[in-house]
Each structure stands twice: as C-alpha cells, then as structure tokens.
C-alpha cells in the first residue's frame, strides 16, 4: 500500500483569525469529501501540514479558564496583543514572533483512529526535531506537549504546546514550538493553566538564535518518518 501524502504549505506570517478560517475551510472540504465516500478506503481526502507565524496573540481552548489570562482587555490593547476563544482542546497559550505553529489537517481514518496516539505522534515529531539540536525533549504524564526536565519540578519547562480539534476524524489546530520566541509574553498568562512549571525556547537552550527555515525542514522530515507519510 502506498504511503499517504501530506501537502506542506508555509503560510508565512498570518493573523490568527485568517489562519483559523483557512483551517476550517480545509477541514470542511475534507469532511464533505468523506460524506460522499462512506464505503471507500482510503478516504479521498487531502492531508496538509501548515506552518505559520502569528502576530502576538493569546488563545484559549474549550476547557480553558479565563483567570489564566492575567491582563485586562484594555491592557491587551495597550500591548498590541490579540486574544481568541478557540474550539481546540487545552487551556491558554501564546503565539507570536520566533515561534513555529504547525497546523496538521490530517484525515486520521487513513492513518489510525486514535486521538491519543495522534498527540503522541506530534510529540514524537517535536522530540526528534529538538533532539537534532542536542536538546532532550520528554513527555510529562497527564500533560500534553513536549517538556524539558519534566521529572524535576524545579526545572520542568514546556517548549512546545499542543491543542487539537477533530471532526469526522479530520484534525485541525496543532502545535506551537518556541524557537526564538520572547518568553516574556508568557508572563502575562498561566501557560496551559499549569502554574508551577515554566516555558522554554530552543534558542535559550542552545545559547543562540536558531534558523527557523532549518527547524521547519527538520519538522517535515520527522513528521514524515513518524507518520510514515510522503511530504509533498
């Protein structure tokens, strides 16, 4: 059986709402294709991996708590930071400069129908990518995303947040990997609703800014290997 293909598209810098609308469009197109191909396998859908960098914005998931945003509406406006309630899972996080946001629009019926496994695959992709820079990523039991030193409460810090939505086994939203991200933005929130752990960025771990295009290339390779897919 031939490998599933995943279309890679780099959207560059894009407002959060515009990227969200584009994801919704691709998801709806795939769901519509599936509705007319109930008994067909593999499903005639198109898989995507979208990369984007957002202007500074805080987003909160369906299970999030507004008290984890530590700024008022007026303060957000003064700082020039956007805010969105989203339909993804998870709590509050930050998107902004120097961060790679990845939005996989994947039809899991052509891979496996297991959201937990999907999240572990995303984590594995990130772990392998930062491992190429000598940074050891890990998982923290019960906390989605990729962590550094999760076993040490004094040192535990999250380098990649994740939150997804799935409709008819088609995914959207995804991961946010801090590469050269100014971590000061995270001081205005309780990241992911976890008060006793910090955040990390790849450049701070390796001691210098990292080439974003190079990181994206590594993400594409590892995504291909982990999902056993052909990236086009």
- Residues with a catalytic annotation lie at 192
Total number of domains constituting the chain:
1
Q: How far is CA 203 from the centre of its chain?
A: 18
Residues 6 or more apart from 56 whose CB is under 8 A from it? Answer: 79, 80, 81, 82, 94, 95, 96, 97, 185
Do 222 and 128 contact (CB within 8 A), yes or no? Answer: yes
Is the overall model pTM greater than 0.85, yes or no? yes
**Per-residue confidence (pLDDT) for residue 195, from 0 to 100:** 76
Burial class (CB in 10 A: 0-12, 13-18, 19+), 19: buried
**Residue-by-residue pLDDT tens, the chain, 232 positions:** 689 999 999 999 999 999 999 999 999 999 999 988 878 888 899 999 999 999 999 999 998 999 999 999 999 999 999 999 999 998 999 999 999 999 999 999 999 999 999 999 999 999 999 999 999 999 999 999 999 999 998 999 999 999 999 999 999 999 999 999 999 999 999 888 877 789 999 999 999 999 999 999 999 999 999 999 999 9
| Sequence-separated (6 or more) residues with CB below 8 Å from residue 154 | none
3-state DSSP percent of the chain in helix, strand and coil, to 5: 35, 30, 35
Listed in sequence order, the residues at least 6 apart from 188 whose beta carbon sits closer than 8 Å to its beta carbon are 58, 69, 70, 71, 79, 81, 94
CA distance 52 to 46: 19
Beta strands 5-13; 47-53: pairing state: parallel
Structural domain that includes position 227 = 5-231
Dihedral angle of Cα 85, 147, 197, 164, to the nearest 10 degrees: 10
Longest dimension (CA), the chain: 55
Task: Kindly state the tokens that stand for 5.
Answer: 């293909």
Name 79's Cβ contacts closer than 8 Å, sequence gap at least 6. Answer: 56, 71, 188
Q: How far, in Å, CA of 39 to CA of 56, rounded?
A: 44
Any idea what the CATH number is for the domain that residue 40 is in?
3.30.930.10
């Amino acid at each position: 059986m031939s490998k599933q293909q995943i279309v890679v598209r780099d959207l560059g810098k894009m407002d959060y709402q515009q990227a969200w609308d584009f994801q919704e469009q691709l998801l709806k197109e795939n769901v519509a294709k599936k509705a007319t191909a109930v008994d067909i396998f593999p499903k005639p859908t198109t898989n995507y991996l979208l990369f984007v960098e957002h202007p500074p914005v805080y987003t909160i998931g369906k299970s999030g708590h507004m008290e984890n945003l530590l700024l008022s509406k007026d303060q957000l406006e003064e700082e020039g930071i956007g805010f969105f309630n989203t339909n993804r899972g998870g709590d509050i996080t930050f998107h902004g400069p120097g961060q790679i946001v990845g939005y996989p629009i994947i039809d899991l019926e052509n891979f496996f129908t297991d959201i937990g496994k999907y999240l572990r695959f995303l984590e594995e992709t990130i772990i392998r990518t930062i491992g190429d820079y000598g940074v050891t990523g890990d998982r923290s039991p019960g906390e989605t995303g990729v962590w550094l030193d999760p076993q040490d409460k004094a040192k535990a810090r999250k380098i990649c947040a994740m939150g997804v939505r799935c409709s008819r086994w088609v995914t959207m939203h995804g991961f946010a990997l801090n590469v050269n991200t100014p971590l000061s933005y995270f001081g205005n929130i309780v990241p992911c609703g976890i008060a006793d752990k910090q955040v990390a960025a790849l450049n701070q771990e390796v001691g210098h800014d990292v080439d974003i295009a190079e990181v994206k290339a590594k993400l594409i390779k590892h995504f291909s290997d982990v999902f056993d897919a052909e990236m086009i």
